[in-house]
Structure 1
Amino acid sequence: MTASPQAAPEAAPQTAPPAPPQGSAPKPSAAPLWMRLALVASLAANLLVAGVVVGAMLDGHGGGPRGVIGDIGLGPFTGAFAPEDRKAMREAFMARAPDLRAMRDQERQDFRAVLDALRAEPYDPAAMRAALQRLSDRLGARMDLGRDILLERLDAMPPAARAAFADRLEAALERPRRGGPEAGGG
């Protein structure tokens, strides 16, 4: 019986000191600088790779303004579509997002806000998060539009055309990327 009164006073000091309300003030700066920089570097690298892949996919394909279909964010899917499908997808994209130049300008402004937040002294984690969120939202919206247009095109294809598309996509994924087709031969 004497053990339970002794246990109660020990439990009270352990539950009284937890300070989540007090600890909430320093939380925004809790992530180390290297982690925040790694996040930004990772995002930048992903966007760079995506841009290079889409640009490379569009380089050898004529028929329309270069870059428009790439702005949808389809990566290797772009090259797997037949020219008439790419043309129809460009038209669908332009119908839904007619002011492509303004969209690109907004993305540049978003990147500028990220750079400004990175260079700010003192560093403001909330400003950095907000800038990255705006950029992510804008790029995500463009990729969502690309996905929707891609799915609409695939849904409209007869089975034989879809199978041919799958074959071209598989070939594009297996093709060596560095140095072009000649580089993979030896």
Structure 2
Amino acid sequence: MGEDKSRRRWLAPALFVSLALNLLVAGVFAGVVLGDGPPHRGAEKHGGDPSFPYIRALDDAQRGALRESFRRSLQEGGEDRSARRARFVGGYEAAARVLRAEPFDRAALARAMSEQAERAAARRTRGQAVLVEFLAGLTPEARAAYADRLEAEIARFGDR
């Protein structure tokens, strides 16, 4: 029984950290697309997201156009930015409530984290679809130039 309590003590924090990392990856992709461009230099050293080379290979104009495409895609989903933000924050608030509740409900925490992970995965999938659609719309010359920059990004990752 003591072993079970010990396991429970680290299980919730481990699940929370795992979810946080998943959300970080999805958030970084969305932040790169919706924000001001690629992550700061050296960010890929910290676990790196597989989308980084794709995003970093875009030139500034392409990154801006992709950002707009992603925003339109989210708007077409019928939910405005404030509603998405409220749902994002609400997921963490729900997890915090479960963590404070006595008796502790492991299943409720797992559900809250699972729901957050599902939303993050859906957003990442949407971002990937927007990126594919964007790249498919480039001229052959622009795609070739993009491929050159992508190969340069891959080489940078390989050098680390």
TM-score, scaled to structure 2? 0.67
Q: Which amino acid letter does the alignment assign opposite residue 91 of structure 1?
A: E
Bigger drift between 110-119 and 139-148 goes to 110-119
The alignment partner of 2:56 has SS state of helix
Give the number of the structure whose alpha-carbon radius of gyration is greater.
1
- Aligned counterparts of 1:119 and 1:43: Cα–Cα separation in 2: 18
Q: Which amino acid letter does the alignment assign opposite residue 66 of structure 1?
A: G
Count of matched residue positions in the alignment of Structure 1 and Structure 2? 140
Of 122, 130, 137, 1:141 maps to 122
Q: Which amino acid letter does the alignment assign opposite residue 35 of structure 2?
A: R
- Aligned counterparts of 1:43 and 1:97: Cα–Cα separation in 2: 22
- Aligned counterparts of 1:36 and 1:143: Cα–Cα separation in 2: 25
Which structure would you say has the larger RCO, counting Cα contacts within 8 Å and 6 or more residues apart? 2
Structure 1 residues 1-186: aligned runs within 5 Å? 32-33=7-8, 34-48=10-24, 51=27, 66=35, 74-98=51-75, 99-175=80-156
Q: Identity rate of aligned residues, in percent? A: 38
CA 131–42 in structure 1, closer or farther in 2 if over 3 Å, else same = same
Quick check: 1:81–1:165 contact (8 Å CA) kept in 2? Answer: yes
Q: Quick check: which one's helix share is greater?
A: 2
Q: What's the CA shift string for 1:83-114, capped at 9, x where partnerless?
A: 23222222222222132232122101111112
Bigger drift between 108-117 and 154-163 goes to 154-163
- Aligned counterparts of 1:53 and 1:143: Cα–Cα separation in 2: 7
Q: What's the CA shift string for 1:44-87, capped at 9, x where partnerless?
A: 234346656876x67xxxxxx735999xx943422211223222
Q: Which amino acid letter does the alignment assign opposite residue 121 of structure 1?
A: E
Aligned-pair RMSD on alpha carbons? Answer: 3.5
Q: Where does structure 1 lack aligned partners over 5 or more consecutive residues?
A: 1-28, 59-64, 177-183
